[in-house]
Amino acid sequence: MLRALSFAHAYPNVADGVLALLAAVVWFWMRPHHEQREPRGIALALAVATTCLLITGVVYNILLRPLPNNADDHVAWANEIVHVVAPAFLLLDLLIAPTRRALPWRSVLAVLAVPSIWIAYTLLRGPFVTDPRLGVAFWYPYPFLNPNGVAGWGGVWAYVAGIAAAFVAVGSFVVWISRLRGREREASPAVVPATP
């Protein structure tokens, strides 16, 4: 149970992505025939999940992949699915899904809210959790969020600021693509295949 909770804390973006895609699939197959655009809530959930997973993929592949890892701590193929396949799949969904809804620019704030809450929770929780591998009296899922490291709190806040800027940039890109695709659909409405 603790291992599952630790995985959910370390990889919340994967669960968000799966749930958002599942909601989109259920809506697509259950929607009335006249509905051609996904509901705003599903579109926003997909935007948040896509942004979070794209950032997760970039952060992992740039900052974490070069670090040594404990072979007993994870399964290599699962790491690749979480950090490469899932971000690529959601990017592909953003670019080609036939029912993409244009989101308002304020959606970027919702995209930023999710990682902000997660980072606050992680930093508040970290000192109260014992690292299961090392037995030290703190645990952070990523070394750049660990204030006990070489860079201290200054390094953590520098990474948080950089990651927040990346979330704003990637979230803006995701919203821009949704708006661009929404305008294209309004200019030439394509017919989405009806459910059988």
Summarised one tens digit per residue, pLDDT across range 140-157 is 988 889 999 888 999 999
Supply the pTM of this predicted model: 0.75
Please report where in the chains the tokens 């953590």 appear, as a residue: 156
Q: 85-97 pLDDT, tens per residue?
A: 889 989 998 998 8
**pLDDT given at position 36:** 75
Distance CA 116, CA 120 (A): 6
Tokens standing for 110? 């919702």
Q: How many residues does the chain have?
A: 196
Using alpha carbons, select from 114, 111, 116, 93 the residue that is nearest to residue 177: 93
Residue 126 has pLDDT above 90, yes or no: yes
DSSP class of residue 60 equals I
CA distance 177 to 175: 5
Residues 6+ apart with CB under 8 A from 38: 24, 27, 28, 46, 99, 100, 101
pLDDT score of 4:
43
